[in-house]
Structure formats: structure tokens, C-alpha cells
Homo-oligomer: A and B are copies of this chain.
């Protein structure tokens, strides 16, 4: 029966909105919840019917109330609170956090394995610290309101605050390996289901200081390969290039000096667009001679391993260029070191990789996994269709349908056409710390006055934890992973025994056993089992008055298995084991179940 009263319709709208939000975050739930399109349509219908019902109500009820009252009610309706998180942000539920904590634990463990120490900087910075660091992306910075005092903005990444921190250390501690894990902020268009958020977590690792060539660079590449191998993200590739080689190629091909950064940013789009489109941007939008563009196209289509390096080293036009020569020399050393680190097979030397940020000065890299590419686009084929035919399925940055508005939801993006993108990226930035030092001294980097400014070169990587979560979480759901660490649920068979239950829980916790109980005076045994089962607790400990007086408790082990995608308790005929209360902790810790759980089988 279709609802007709405004109240009933509002309740239904609230319910459908909840489903809509759930589907946006977890598109895979469409099987049980219905498709996003259907839910949207149903929401639209409901809202129309609500508007009609309200008008009908107004026509019917005018005599029940005077005008003032009716207006007051309208005002109340307008003030209705939107129960939601800000656009591009989300809550992470306990089950999701259990997965995220697992990911973070692995990342931190590798960070410290590689000699890293933790740094923490504030979530907001003085605005001038962020100014002139991000090129045209500066428009994405979240500013704080001027409430008197300093101009402030939310941090955009960890790299710039790290450089500010290193600059504040002055000449000290210039040799460092620092890691940071925390949230950063960008006013970008969010695609929530792919982990593209306005608030997102990045894990950074950076090495600063003057070392011998390419040794820290190789450490960082070994680090990211180690982390991605340990996380359940599937096969991955590290795309690798060098700004010095890229700049050399542009010079050799005849790109005018003032156009190099603009052409570089066009090349950077080759992971999302075919060559024909990139060439069009270079020539039509950026005024490059088509013959020059074609020469660039010949170079940037190359990708491979050390054999590509050999080929480029044999290219005498290229090696005659100072910048390219330097870059190729660096790559030779790097590939030798990567062999020692046993990660060469993970590396794809890719001349089309350019990276957006201006501050990179040497090698640059991006980690991608098969699952992270947008569907219908295979970057290996970017050149296959060029230059004469435009592939019909190539996604563009525009959504296929014009943006519509649903309530005050954000304009829609066709999420099925968006990939997770790179899950980690970084490079060498040799001048960022010096730029801060020069700024503080009031001189311009590169000027005569700045020659006493110390050089603190850096190389680092940022790992996108939300994108990794977007890849790992569906597998957790599939495996039916647990979301709590509680090991024991203490219950009473008979007369409530609240004090006795609390007493045992207290003793267990004091002995390092994570334990819980139902906070009721006289709960039924079935309710207590149900509560313990909700948490998938492996041990149920049952207290009975008579037993307790003999110093005994009953322990039942509980196991779960996945049945049709849902966790189900394996019913056993086990009536439980009587154990001395005084020996319970020792007994529990000796069971195979305990050993299994503490060896982190659950994570």
C-alpha cells in the first residue's frame, strides 16, 4: 500500500535516502538493495508525492490554525536538520575501521623497518606556508574563516608541512627518514566509492639530506614495493620516469622553454586519454607545432625496463642534451640498485609519466594496480587507436549525462567510469625546503642573495590509504572478517549474578584477556549468547551459582563459517568444559583457538 500522509512519505524518503547513501559507498550492494538508478527514481517519485500531499494538507487544514501558527510550522520544517557528513567526507564504521587499522598497521611496520621515525604536524597551517606550492590546484585548498588572528588553511598534503618542519630545524637534522600518517584536504569533486574524497588519509615516507646518488630513491621504491606486496591489493606496477629526461625530450623535440610545463601537464594525461586527444590539447589548446607534437609522441609512447634505458642511451640526439644525459645517468645507477633490492620486475620505466606537481626535480613514480584503472580504458592501448580514429568508449572527464541535482547532493559523477587511480605516488623534490629557508630569509631562491641557503634535497612517497581501503574492503566483506577483538563473553546461566560476572570480567581484563558481558541485572542466557555471537567472540564463559561455589566455570568455544556470504555459527554438541575459575586465564591461553587469534589470523 502506497503511503499518503506527509509523515509516512517523509519516513519513506528518509529510508530511501539511507539506502541511496549506502549504495553510493558500496555499489556492490546493488544486488540486495537494488540499483542506484532505481533508488534515485523512487526518491524522486516520493518527493513529488510529498509536495502534493503537503499542498493537499494546506488546503484542508487552513481553518485548524491561524496564519501565525501555520507560518511557525513552516519555519520549523525549514530548520529541519540534515543528518549527514559534509560533502566528500564520510564516517568509517567499526567494521571498516578494523580493516583500516589493519592496513595502517602494515604500513607503519614497514615504515619503521626502513628506519623511519614518526612526525606529526598540525591539520591546518598558516596560509602563506601553502601558497605557491601547488600550481593551479591551489584553488582546491580549504581555507579557514577569518575569525581574527592568522590566515589559516587545511593542509593539502604532508609534503609541504614536512618541508616547513625541516626548514624550521634550520641546519640541524637535515638527514632524516620521516613518516607521517594523517588526513589531508582538497575541495575536489568526490567519487566516494573509489576512495576519492575531500578528506582523505595519506601515509607519507620521506628521506631528506645529501646522500650518494639514487640510494634514497631506491630505498623509497623498495619501501613501496614491500608495502604493496603485503597489502591485499593484487598485482601492482610502479610507473617510473625522470623529470630531467622528460625535460630533455621536450628540449630535443623543440618545445619552446616557456611551454615545457604546459606540455608536460598534457603528457601527464596519457593515463586517462588517448594520444590523439593529448596531441589535440598540445596543438590546438597550447599552440604547439604539430610536427613537434609528433616527435614527442614518438618518445613518450615508450615503456619498459632496463632495455628501454639502453635504447635511450644509444640515442645520440637525446644524450647530447645536458638534462636528458643527467637523467639517463641517474636511471642507470637506479636500475643497478633496484636489481639489488630485487624489485626491477615491478618497475615500468614509462616516458609518458609526468606527474602534476611543479616541485619535482628528479625521478617521479606512481603505483597502480589492475583494479585501479577506469573500465574500458587500457593505457597500454593509448597509442593503438591514434592518431586517426577516436575510440568510442574512451571516457572523458565529463560525465555522460549532464549533472543533475538530487536534493542538495553533489552533482553526479558516473562512478562506474572512474578508476581508483594511482594508489601511491611521489618523487624527488630538491628545492622545496630551500624555498622555505629562502622565503624566511626574505630572498629569492636562485638569486645571488640565496647562495648561502643550505640545500636539503628530499625524495618521498604518499600512499593513498582511502584508495587502498576501497580495494581491500570488498575482499574483507567477502571473507566475512571479524570487526572486534573481544575474546571472552561472560554470561550467567541462572540468577543474574551481575557482581560475579563483573568480577570475572575485571579479572580477565586485568590479565590481558579482552572480555565483555551484557550490562543487565538478570539477562536471559539466550540474550547473552546472542550478544556474544554478534561480536563473534570465540569463548563463552558461563557462570552458575552452584558451580561458582565450587570455584568452577563452564567454557564453550564458538566457531563461525561463511554460509552464502553470511557468517553463521557452527552449532556444536559441545556442552562446554568445566574449568577452575582460578585457572581460567591459563586454560584459555593454552587453547588452539587462542593461539590462532593472537597470531593475528583475524587480521
For A589, the chain B residues whose CB sits under 8 A away are none
Is A12 part of the binding interface, using a Cβ–Cβ cutoff of 8 Å?
no
**With A83-B168, A147-B142 as given contacts, are A76 and B216 in contact (CB-CB < 8 Å)?**
no
Chain B's closest residue to A211 (CB) is B519
CB distance A144 to B147 under 8 Å?
Answer: no
CB distance B150 to A86 under 8 Å?
Answer: yes
User: Of the 9-residue stretches A60-68, A337-345, A387-395, A562-570, which lies at the interface with chain B?
Assistant: A337-345
Segment 77-96 of A: residues with Cβ below 8 Å from B: 77, 79-87, 89-95
Q: How many residues of A contact B (CB 8 A)?
A: 103
| Extra inter-chain contacts (8) besides given A87-B150, A113-B513, A212-B519, CB under 8 Å | A82-B126, A86-B125, A95-B117, A112-B514, A113-B515, A142-B145, A144-B154, A212-B498
For A216, the chain B residues whose CB sits under 8 A away are 519
Segment 128-187 of A: residues with Cβ below 8 Å from B: 128-129, 142-147, 149-150, 152, 154, 164-165, 167-168, 170, 176-178, 183, 187
Residue of B97, B98, B226, B514 near A113 (CB, 8 A) is: B514
Is A232 part of the binding interface, using a Cβ–Cβ cutoff of 8 Å?
no
**With A90-B122, A122-B91, A147-B142 as given contacts, are A117 and B484 in contact (CB-CB < 8 Å)?**
yes
Interface centre among A83, A117, A149, A337 (most CB of B within 10 A): A83
User: Of the 9-residue stretches A289-297, A300-308, A435-443, which lies at the interface with chain B?
Assistant: A435-443
For A440, the chain B residues whose CB sits under 8 A away are 14, 80-83
Segment 419-454 of A: residues with Cβ below 8 Å from B: 436, 439-444
CB distance A119 to B93 under 8 Å?
Answer: yes
**With A93-B119, A215-B520, A485-B112 as given contacts, are A439 and B126 in contact (CB-CB < 8 Å)?**
no
For A10, the chain B residues whose CB sits under 8 A away are 441
CB distance A506 to B199 under 8 Å?
Answer: no
Contact digits for A236-256, partner B, Cβ 8 Å, 1 yes 0 no:
000000000000000000000
For A147, the chain B residues whose CB sits under 8 A away are 142-143, 187
Residue of B89, B212, B219, B502 near A520 (CB, 8 A) is: B212
Min CB distance, A508 to chain B, in Å? 9
Tally of this chain's copies: 2
CB distance B86 to A126 under 8 Å?
Answer: yes
Min CB distance, A519 to chain B, in Å? 4
Residue of B80, B211, B222 near A442 (CB, 8 A) is: B80
CB distance B199 to A123 under 8 Å?
Answer: yes
Give the distance in Å from the alpha carbon of A150 to the alpha carbon of B219 in the complex: 43
CB distance A502 to B86 under 8 Å?
Answer: no
Give the distance in Å from the alpha carbon of A576 to the alpha carbon of B258 in the complex: 60
Give the distance in Å from the alpha carbon of A361 to the alpha carbon of B85 in the complex: 26
Min CB distance, A372 to chain B, in Å? 23
Give the distance in Å from the alpha carbon of A49 to the alpha carbon of B519 in the complex: 70
For A145, the chain B residues whose CB sits under 8 A away are 142-146
CB distance A119 to B94 under 8 Å?
Answer: yes
Give the distance in Å from the alpha carbon of A118 to the alpha carbon of B10 in the complex: 32
For A86, the chain B residues whose CB sits under 8 A away are 122, 124-126, 150, 152
Is A115 part of the binding interface, using a Cβ–Cβ cutoff of 8 Å?
yes
Is A521 part of the binding interface, using a Cβ–Cβ cutoff of 8 Å?
yes
Is A415 part of the binding interface, using a Cβ–Cβ cutoff of 8 Å?
no
Is A114 part of the binding interface, using a Cβ–Cβ cutoff of 8 Å?
yes
CB distance B80 to A94 under 8 Å?
Answer: no
Residue of B85, B101, B441, B498 near A121 (CB, 8 A) is: B85
CB distance A114 to B485 under 8 Å?
Answer: no
Residue of B218, B436, B486 near A83 (CB, 8 A) is: B436
CB distance B341 to A506 under 8 Å?
Answer: yes
**With A502-B337, A519-B215 as given contacts, are A100 and B114 in contact (CB-CB < 8 Å)?**
no
Chain B's closest residue to A161 (CB) is B91
For A89, the chain B residues whose CB sits under 8 A away are 122, 124
For A146, the chain B residues whose CB sits under 8 A away are 145
CB distance A76 to B119 under 8 Å?
Answer: no
Is A499 part of the binding interface, using a Cβ–Cβ cutoff of 8 Å?
yes
CB distance B125 to A101 under 8 Å?
Answer: no
Segment 508-565 of A: residues with Cβ below 8 Å from B: 509-510, 512-516, 519-521, 535
For A235, the chain B residues whose CB sits under 8 A away are none
**With A115-B514, A441-B80, A485-B112 as given contacts, are A100 and B120 in contact (CB-CB < 8 Å)?**
yes
For A112, the chain B residues whose CB sits under 8 A away are 484-486, 514
For A337, the chain B residues whose CB sits under 8 A away are 499, 502
Is A483 part of the binding interface, using a Cβ–Cβ cutoff of 8 Å?
yes
Is A376 part of the binding interface, using a Cβ–Cβ cutoff of 8 Å?
no
Is A592 part of the binding interface, using a Cβ–Cβ cutoff of 8 Å?
no
CB distance A340 to B506 under 8 Å?
Answer: yes
**With A86-B125, A168-B83 as given contacts, are A97 and B118 in contact (CB-CB < 8 Å)?**
yes
8 A-B pairs with least C-beta separation:
A94-B117, A81-B439, A115-B516, A89-B122, A215-B519, A211-B519, A97-B118, A80-B442
